[in-house]
Chains A and B, each alone.
Chain A
Amino acid sequence: MADLADQLGWCITTKDYLNDLINEIENIGKAYEKMIEELKQYGYFNELAKQLIKNQQEFQKEVESLKKYIANEHLDYIQQQTDSISATLRRLLNK
């Protein structure tokens, strides 16, 4: 019982870390876009803006890829375990 509670705690904490990571990279992805828009408003040189746009697109692509990877390969997997532990705990508590 104690082991299961620890395992459930582990699952919840780990999912929090991973969700935090996704939020952080998503926020910077938005900040990247915002920075370019602001620079354009202040007459940023086209040549320089083009480099930043290229980098921003590369960043966004990586963000999407990493998000998808974490969601499919880690969060889903840990969620399955969470559901399984929760169900077991419920069964034990109902006995």
Chain B
Amino acid sequence: MASLKKIYFGDYTKEGYDTGFKDSKNNLPKNRFKFFKIVHPVNWIWNFNNAWETFQRNYDKGYIDNEKVAHNVYYIENNIKKGANTMRENQYATQLTILNSFEADLLSLKQRLSQLNDSYSKQINVLKGLGFMEDYTNTLQTRYVTFESKISDMLSMIDKHLQTIADHKDEIEKLLQNAKG
């Protein structure tokens, strides 16, 4: 019925629009002459001008509409992608800052522990010269050996933890570069 109406009025609005939209979607160049492939033989002699006019006008409309849709989708997708990447970049950059800050804290602690251990060691060395009882100095000297060993263990543990942080920083740095790329 619809087909009869189309033939009678020579109305190729839908065909024109759909063909134009499809060509644009398939990245084909504009080709209004596709009309001649789909036009009903009756319209060669009946309402030909109207058929041709409605087809080509709506072909252009369909073609442009698809471009708008494609562009808009691309634009939105691109913006979402850009936004997500920026968020990830910021996230990774902040994570790196936090790791760097704590790494500096650990390095500083290592230095302070060594300094305080040296200070205590010097204090132990001057004990006898200050006239303390021998029992007292001997006990502290013995205890200092254990103390030094515990500090050394702690320094080794800090080195191990610093290595973990360095590994994490490498991972996050890679992720940051990927997000930027």
Same complex for A and B? Answer yes
Question: Mostly helix, strand, loop or mixed at chain A's interface?
Answer: helix
Residue count of chain B within 8 Å CB distance of chain A: 38
Q: Are A31 and B113 in contact (CB under 8 A)?
A: no
Q: Are B119 and A17 in contact (CB under 8 A)?
A: yes
Cβ 8 A contact of A10, one of B116, B127, B164: B127
Residue count of chain A within 8 Å CB distance of chain B: 37
Q: Are A10 and B168 in contact (CB under 8 A)?
A: no
- Residues of B near A58 (CB, < 8 A) are 157
Q: Are B95 and A55 in contact (CB under 8 A)?
A: no
Q: Are A14 and B120 in contact (CB under 8 A)?
A: yes
**Given A24-B113, A74-B143, CB of A51 within 8 Å of CB of B164:** yes
Q: Are B123 and A13 in contact (CB under 8 A)?
A: yes
The 8 closest A-B pairs by CB, nearest first: A35-B102, A3-B131, A21-B116, A14-B123, A28-B109, A17-B119, A42-B94, A55-B161
Give 19 A-B pairs besides A51-B168, A73-B143 with Cβ atoms closer than 8 angstroms. A7-B130, A13-B123, A14-B120, A14-B123, A18-B116, A20-B112, A21-B112, A24-B112, A24-B116, A25-B109, A28-B105, A35-B101, A35-B102, A51-B164, A55-B160, A55-B161, A58-B157, A62-B153, A73-B146
